[in-house]
């Protein structure tokens, strides 16, 4: 099997979590996608055996504020929000890796910079 980094390219990650999903999320949350303060992007952060480490990257939108109070509660929100669909992300990761099932766990929001916060997403392949 190819290295996981060879599987989870930027194109593959964008197909698993398309950019439009951010606007759909804010449309559902606020009624207008323009009210969102960040864009969500899926990133691959490496592997440890059957555990694949991803990040939900929250990139500040121009002219918006990515305040900690906006992002620290997101793991709980993302874990159950149907548009974010973390189980769907895990299922797509498992399929891409040639596995039939996966479980997942979201970590706590980390502030990388004022413009970037990340939520770790650990996916265990079945």
Please report which confidence band the pLDDT of residue 1 belongs to, taking 50, 70 and 90 as the band edges: very low
pLDDT for 69 equals 67
Percent of the residues in the chain that have a pLDDT greater than 90, as a whole number: 79
Catalogue the E-assigned strands of 50-107: 51-60, 102-106
**Each residue's pLDDT tens digit, 84-93:** 999 999 999 9
Best CA proximity match to 41, nearest among 64, 63, 23: 23
**Each residue's pLDDT tens digit, 15-53:** 999 999 999 999 998 999 988 999 999 999 999 988 999
Query: What is the residue extent of each domain of the chain?
Result: 4-125
Give me the sign of the Cα torsion angle 123, 109, 58, 83: positive
């Amino acid at each position: 099997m190819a290295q996981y980094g060879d599987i989870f390219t930027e194109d593959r990650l964008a197909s698993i979590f398309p950019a439009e999903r951010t606007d759909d999320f804010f449309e559902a949350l606020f009624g207008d996608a323009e009210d969102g303060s960040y864009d969500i992007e899926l990133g691959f952060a490496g592997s440890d055996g059957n555990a694949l480490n991803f990040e939900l990257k929250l990139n500040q939108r121009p002219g918006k504020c990515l305040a900690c109070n906006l992002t620290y509660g997101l793991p709980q929100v993302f874990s159950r929000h149907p548009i974010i669909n973390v189980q769907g992300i895990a299922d797509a990761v498992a399929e891409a890796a040639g596995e039939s099932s996966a479980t997942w766990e979201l970590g706590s929001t980390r502030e990388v910079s004022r413009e970037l916060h990340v939520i770790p997403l650990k996916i265990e392949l079945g």
